[in-house]
Amino acid sequence: MQILLGSLLNGLVYGMLLFMLASGLTLIFSMMGVLNFAHASIYMLGAYFAYDVSRYISFWAGLIIAPLACGLIGAAIEVWGLRRCHRSGHAAELLFTFGLVFIIQRLVMMIWGTLPVPYQVPGSLNFTLFALYGQNFPAYRGFMLLVSAGMLLSTWLVLKKTRIGLIIQAALTHPNMVAALGHDVPLVFTIVFAGGCALAGLAGVIGGNYFTTDSGMADALGPIVFVVVVFGGLGSLVGCFIASITMGLVQTFAVTANGSISSLFAPLGFDLGGDTLLGEILTLPIARIGPLLPYILMILILFFRPRGLMGTRDA
């Protein structure tokens, strides 16, 4: 029971973090048709910025400064890079962001080195919030939940309740009409892209000391975020939310599950082991299949329902 509850909470925290990343990506893709491969790289930059700022000033300053910096970088990428690629089509934009991934990773290695940096939870948040059945729930995780929920709520408010949000929603599906009405659509695109990057940066600030901060963190999280975005459906934030939480829970629970596929069949009298690849797959404990799950899910969903769970447009 305690493991269940503990995993539930952990899965929730991880899922919210994924949602912070995936929501920005979904917004950018829905609006601009660009799948930003470099999104997880911005997340990584956010973590590293936060680390530097928290070293010289404080963690709380980093919470503000790092996302802002990431937003500015996003704006720069959009204005000087993506906008130029736009006329060559979506393929060019996709490739541009793909190239950015390698460059950003190398830059990070050059500036901060190849070893993980000691970006740590600030002392003020480093205590146990409560203990549940003998398992400690750190206050920092509660903080993460608070920040992600707060950020998402404000994003939702901005989109639904403000004028700029209305324009963004309209430009989501009818950019030309919105431009014809006199709005500066390229500026809207820049704002959305920068906003998405700022979100990713914020995710990096709070996630960087939850996980390790090193030059491989973008590679670790990036593919999962893609799977979430595709799974939840392009164009739908609600679908994205459901998918993020689901993925977070699935991955967390998979790690703690005991048994394997063959053990499911054992009571039926089948011996599915054996010294072959198939045998290895079937006897592999589910905990270790975890890393494969997101990709299998993504392939399945794209095959059966390319719209994802609740998407409003096909991928």
Partner 1 sequence: MSDATRPRDSALIANRRRFQGLRAASPWLAVLAVAVLLPWLFYDYAHGRQNSFMISMFSQMGMMVIFALAFNMLMGEAGLMSFGHAAFFGFGGYCVAHFLNAAAEGDFPVPLELMPLAAGLSGLALAIVFGAMATKQRSTAFAMITFGIGQLMVTAALMFQHFFGGESGVSTDRQSAYSLLGINYAQGLEVYYLIVAWALIAALGMHYLTGTPLGRMANACRDNHERAQFMGYNPRMVRFLQFALSGFFAGVGGGLYAITYEIVTYDAVNLPLSGNALLMAYIGGVGTFTGPVLGAVLITAMQSGVSLMSNSWVIYVGVLFIIMVTFAPTGLTGIIKAHAPLARAGRLGRLVVPYLRLTSPGLMVVLGFVGLVEMLSFLTIGAAEGKRFNVLGLSPNLHASPPWLITAACLSIGAIWLRREARLFHRVWDTLMADLGPAGNR
Minimum separation from the CB atom of position 281 to partner 1 (A): 7
Minimum separation from the CB atom of position 43 to partner 1 (A): 17
Furthest CA-CA distance within the chain? 71
The residue (of 69 and 82) whose beta carbon lies closer to partner 1 is 82
**Which residues, in sequence order, are CB contacts of 193 under 8 Å at separation 6+?**
28, 32, 36, 74, 75, 77, 78, 82
The residue (of 1 and 277) whose beta carbon lies closer to partner 1 is 277
Binding site for partner 1 (CB under 8 A): 33, 35, 81, 84-85, 88, 90-92, 94-96, 98-100, 102-103, 105-107, 109-114, 219, 223, 226-227, 230, 275-277, 279-281, 284, 288, 291-292, 295-296, 298-299, 302-303, 306, 314-315
The residue (of 85 and 145) whose beta carbon lies closer to partner 1 is 85
Cα separation, 105 vs 196, in Å, equals 19
The residue (of 109 and 125) whose beta carbon lies closer to partner 1 is 109
The residue (of 116 and 165) whose beta carbon lies closer to partner 1 is 116
- Cα-Cα-Cα-Cα dihedral sign, residues 225, 226, 230, 233: positive
Minimum separation from the CB atom of position 35 to partner 1 (A): 6
User: What residues does 285 pair with on adjacent strands?
Assistant: 260
Which two structure tokens, joined as six digits, stand for 206? 């709070």
Minimum separation from the CB atom of position 177 to partner 1 (A): 23
Cα separation, 16 vs 149, in Å, equals 8
Cα separation, 145 vs 155, in Å, equals 15
Minimum separation from the CB atom of position 278 to partner 1 (A): 8
The residue (of 160 and 305) whose beta carbon lies closer to partner 1 is 305
The residue (of 100 and 217) whose beta carbon lies closer to partner 1 is 100
Minimum separation from the CB atom of position 102 to partner 1 (A): 4
The residue (of 13 and 297) whose beta carbon lies closer to partner 1 is 297
CA distances from 229 to 13, 23, 263 (A): 17, 8, 32
Report helix, strand or coil for 276.
coil
Cα separation, 206 vs 228, in Å, equals 19
First to last CA, the chain: 40
Cβ burial 94-128 (10 Å sphere, 16+ → b, else e): bebbeebbeebbeebeeebeeeebebebeeebeee
**Which residues, in sequence order, are CB contacts of 221 under 8 Å at separation 6+?**
18, 21, 40, 43
Cβ neighbours of 159 (radius 10 Å): 16
Minimum separation from the CB atom of position 284 to partner 1 (A): 7
Minimum separation from the CB atom of position 76 to partner 1 (A): 13
